[in-house]
């Protein structure tokens, strides 16, 4: 299969998976609005986990409250970077997980961006009361899991020559000794 066709299929698959993940995030937020807004928290495991509605105008842990334009600009730049990186990652089984990471990060960024544009806040509703963890949503799960997998892959899975290849593909203007085989 030629490279242009592979890249087209890769972007098509990425788009379909992104749409599904974004829809799932938005659907769960819709359910949270309909079932939790103005209500007492819905306790699933007493003292451990509950569904609690929150309108978050900041980022994780409530930082940067009310900085909507900042978040929109950062999200736009992140989306551009993710789309670029997604297309530069080699289309090989060894790197499929990195494609998945880009898709999850993209879907998470878009999911929360939709909230910021439509509502001026992000809808959060998952709460681990056992550890008083900040309230979060499905898009946050995508981002957190993707970044955890990213760290694991780079620390334990990819070899130095594979990382050199990735660097050469993603940053072609930098000199590197890595060559694709």
Report in angstroms the alpha-carbon separations of 151 from 135, 138, 141: 23, 20, 15
Among 25, 124, 161, 164, the active-site one is 124
Judge whether 161 counts as a catalytic residue: no
Handedness of CA 121, 122, 126, 132 (dihedral sign): negative
User: What DSSP designation does 135 have?
Assistant: P
- The encoded tokens of residue 101 equal 């990471």
Choose the catalytic residue: 25, 140, 161, 164: 140
Active site residue 140: yes
**Mind telling me the catalytic residues?**
124, 140
């Amino acid at each position: 299969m030629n490279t242009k066709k592979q890249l087209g299929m890769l972007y098509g698959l990425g788009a379909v998976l992104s749409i599904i993940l974004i829809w799932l995030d938005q659907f769960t937020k819709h359910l949270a609005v309909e079932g939790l807004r103005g209500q007492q928290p819905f306790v699933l495991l007493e003292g451990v986990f509950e569904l609690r509605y929150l309108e978050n105008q900041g980022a994780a842990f409530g930082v940067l409250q009310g900085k909507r334009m900042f978040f929109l600009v950062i999200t736009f730049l992140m989306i551009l970077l993710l789309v670029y990186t997604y297309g530069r990652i080699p289309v090989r089984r060894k790197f499929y997980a990195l494609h998945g990471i880009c898709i999850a990060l993209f879907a998470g960024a878009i999911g929360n961006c939709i909230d910021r544009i439509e509502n001026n806040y992000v809808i959060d509703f998952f709460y681990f009361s056992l550890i008083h963890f900040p309230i979060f949503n499905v898009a946050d799960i995508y981002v957190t899991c993707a970044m955890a997998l990213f760290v694991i892959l780079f620390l334990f899975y990819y070899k130095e020559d594979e990382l050199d290849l990735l660097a050469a593909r993603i940053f072609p203007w930098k000199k590197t000794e890595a060559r694709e085989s």
